[in-house]
Every structure is written in structure tokens, then in C-alpha cells.
């Protein structure tokens, strides 16, 4: 088996100029925010306008860039074309409530009674509230004409729910349509009690449907969307990565990059350390396992069918454990060199 060496293999992400949506995800604590923040800086050197969005309830982008970033696109200090945003569905809903139920992104004004009815529909489907906020977000960032949007995602389970939001929204909107079609009295209400508020709700759902169709087509198009799986060389992280890759494949989300982060390499400074050597030995085992399973350079094309070739071949990056936290512009820029092949 090949010896373990540092390698940054994300050059293909930079070179694929058609990419619009880039998701960075994996188990908690593997360094997703460091990877996504550094990648955002790299992409800002290649793209016209870049946005990094945190969908993790425990947001870390503000800490990564050492500045306050809210739930609206905020320009990152020291960059002219890089913006950050920490998605908070609760805060977005509160802002809508304070804005007289005005949904600016859809150009509709819904009165209080209609908004309450819409919220009742929304609350009847798990995840619909969050999905609607994400839909609003995607429409907003699309209108702001960002070249590329990078998602610093939450741990795996939350991320998979995020990626399934188009289906959640479809279920939600279908339920509203069923209410409209199956309750005769609703047609009367549309004309009287709510001042056409329900009509506005149905206008909203139709607008959302169009947005969903666009988003679904882009998420399932490898020219527009890709996922970068981040892990560390430990059993639980490997297991979580396998689960993530299977779900991405099932949802037809492209993923052809795996980043193995926080690898401890032995050099003259730590070669006499028993714990360091034991740690390196353990990590080397899991790195070799990952390479045997996924590394495109170790696959025998003759033994695989076309489907396997599309889903099981990955560019693998092996990044070193850092001696300090990677926070702030200077350290992020120093970390960049690990992301791309020298």
C-alpha cells in the first residue's frame, strides 16, 4: 500500500466554473467550517461573487472569519467579492412577522388571518418550516447573482434533511392543494371572509412550486451542484461518511471529493513520541481503508460497471492536523495551500 502523504485535491472544484451550489458536510468536529471557509476564499479569487452560508444551528462562520455575520449576506472583511450568511430559520420567521407578513421574495402581502392559516398548514408537515426558509434563502441569493454558493452544513443527519427539502416542500404544497380541492367551503371563503388571503396563499404555493422545480433540477445536475465529504481517519467518521455517500447517491447529488482532515504526520519533532506514533499508525489504517474503498487512482476500471464508476470514484485529499485553531484571515489563507495540489 502507498505511504501516507499530504495532498490537496480540490483543484477540480476551482476549475469547474459551472458549479453554482457546493455543499461541505460530514460528521461533527471534522473541520467542515475550516474547509468551507478556506474554499470560499479560494473561489473568491476565481469567481465574480461568492457566498458562504452556514446551515448549522451552532454557527461557526463568524468565529472562522473573526467577524459578526448575521442571517443576511454580509461582506467578509478584507474581500471585495466574498460574503457570509448564517441561516437561522427562527430569526427569518421573526423578521417576517415584524414585517406585516410581507414575503418580499415572492412579492405577496398576506394578512394576519391568512398567515395564521398558512402557518397551520406549514406546522402539519415536519421540516416544512425550515424548508420554506431555505427556499426563501435560495431565491434571495439567486436574485443577488452570486456566482457560487458554498454551504457549511450541520452534522450528517441535519444535512441530509437539508438536501431533501425540495421533496418536503412538494409534500407540503400538495397538502395545501388537497385542502383546496377537497373542501367545498373553501371556495366560498376565498370570495368572502379572508379578503382573498387564501388566494394569495395559493399564489404563494404556485410561486414556490416553480422555485422547487428549478432548485431540484440544479441540485440533481452535477454541472451545477456538488458535495464535498469531510471526515477524519477514525472509525465513526468513516462509518458516517459511508452513510452520507449512500444517501447522496440515492438522492442523485453529485459527490466526487472526499477530504480526510486532521491527519497527524510523523516528523523529526515527534518521531520519539509513543502516542504520536500510535496515533499515526491508527490513522494510517483508516486512511488506507478509505483509499481502497474510494480512491479513483486505486480503482480497476475493468472490474466496475458504469454505475459504480459514476458513484464510487473520488478525488481524495489528505490534510494535516494544525497546531492551532484556523481562525481569522491570516490563518485561513495559510491553510489554503493544503487544499490544492502543489
Q: How many CA atoms lie within 13 A of 255 on its CB side?
A: 29
Q: What is the pLDDT of residue 274?
A: 87
CA dist., res. 265 & res. 326, Å (int): 18
Residue stretches of the chain with pLDDT short of 50: 1, 96-108, 192-195, 303-311
Question: Which listed residue (2, 56, 88, 303) is catalytic?
Answer: 56
CA dist., res. 65 & res. 55, Å (int): 16
Going from N- to C-terminal start, the domains of the chain cover: 1-112+126-172+208-333
CA distances (Å), 46 to each of 9, 227, 241, in order? 17, 19, 29
CA dist., res. 272 & res. 267, Å (int): 9
Q: What is the pLDDT of residue 83?
A: 95
* pTM of the complete model: 0.78
C-beta pairs of 208-217 under 8 Å, 24+ apart in sequence: 208/106, 208/132, 208/135, 208/169, 208/173, 209/170, 209/173, 211/135, 211/138, 211/139, 212/135, 212/166, 212/169, 212/170, 212/173, 215/135, 215/138, 215/166, 216/166
Rg of the chain over Cα atoms, rounded to whole angstroms, equals 23
Per the structure block, which three cell numbers stand in for 108?
405577496
Active site residue 120: no
**What is 1-112+126-172+208-333's CATH superfamily?**
P-loop containing nucleotide triphosphate hydrolases (3.40.50.300)
Q: What is the pLDDT of residue 1?
A: 42
Q: What is the pLDDT of residue 193?
A: 46
Neighbours of 148 (CB within 10 A): 23
CA distances (Å), 283 to each of 8, 35, 287, 297, 318, in order? 17, 20, 6, 20, 11
Amino acid at each position: 500500500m502507498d505511504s501516507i502523504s499530504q495532498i490537496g485535491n480540490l483543484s477540480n472544484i476551482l476549475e469547474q466554473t459551472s458549479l453554482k451550489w457546493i455543499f461541505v458536510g460530514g460528521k461533527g468536529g471534522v473541520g467542515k467550517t475550516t474547509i468551507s471557509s478556506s474554499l470560499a476564499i479560494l473561489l473568491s479569487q476565481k469567481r465574480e461573487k461568492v457566498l458562504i452560508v452556514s446551515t448549522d444551528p451552532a454557527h461557526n462562520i463568524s468565529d472562522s472569519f473573526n467577524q459578526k455575520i448575521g442571517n443576511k449576506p454580509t461582506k467578509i472583511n478584507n474581500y471585495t467579492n466574498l460574503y457570509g450568511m448564517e441561516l437561522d430559520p427562527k430569526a427569518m420567521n421573526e423578521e417576517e412577522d415584524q414585517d406585516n407578513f410581507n414575503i418580499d421574495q415572492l412579492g405577496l402581502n398576506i394578512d394576519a388571518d391568512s398567515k395564521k392559516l398558512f402557518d397551520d398548514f406549514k406546522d402539519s408537515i415536519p421540516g416544512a418550516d425550515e424548508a420554506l426558509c431555505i427556499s426563501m434563502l435560495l431565491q434571495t441569493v439567486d436574485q443577488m447573482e452570486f456566482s457560487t454558493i458554498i454551504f457549511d452544513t450541520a452534522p450528517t443527519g441535519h444535512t441530509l434533511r437539508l438536501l431533501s427539502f425540495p421533496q418536503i416542500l412538494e409534500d407540503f404544497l400538495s397538502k395545501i392543494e388537497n385542502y383546496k380541492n377537497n373542501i367545498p367551503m373553501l371556495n366560498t371563503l376565498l370570495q368572502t371572509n379572508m379578503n382573498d388571503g387564501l388566494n394569495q396563499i395559493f399564489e404563494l404555493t404556485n410561486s414556490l412550486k416553480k422555485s422547487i422545480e428549478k432548485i431540484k433540477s440544479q441540485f440533481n445536475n452535477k454541472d451545477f451542484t456538488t458535495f464535498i465529504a469531510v471526515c477524519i481517519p477514525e472509525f465513526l467518521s468513516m462509518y458516517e461518511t459511508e452513510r452520507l455517500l449512500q444517501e447522496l447517491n440515492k438522492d442523485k447529488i453529485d459527490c466526487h471529493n472526499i477530504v480526510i482532515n486532521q491527519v497527524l504526520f510523523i516528523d523529526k519533532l515527534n518521531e520519539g513520541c509513543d502516542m504520536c506514533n500510535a496515533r499515526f499508525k491508527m490513522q494510517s489504517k483508516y486512511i488506507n481503508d478509505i483509499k481502497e474503498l474510494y480512491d479513483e487512482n486505486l480503482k480497476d476500471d475493468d472490474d466496475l460497471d458504469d454505475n459504480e464508476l459514476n458513484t464510487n470514484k473520488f478525488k481524495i485529499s489528505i490534510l494535516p492536523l494544525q497546531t492551532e485553531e484556523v481562525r481569522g484571515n491570516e490563518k485561513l489563507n495559510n491553510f489554503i495551500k493544503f487544499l490544492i495540489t502543489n
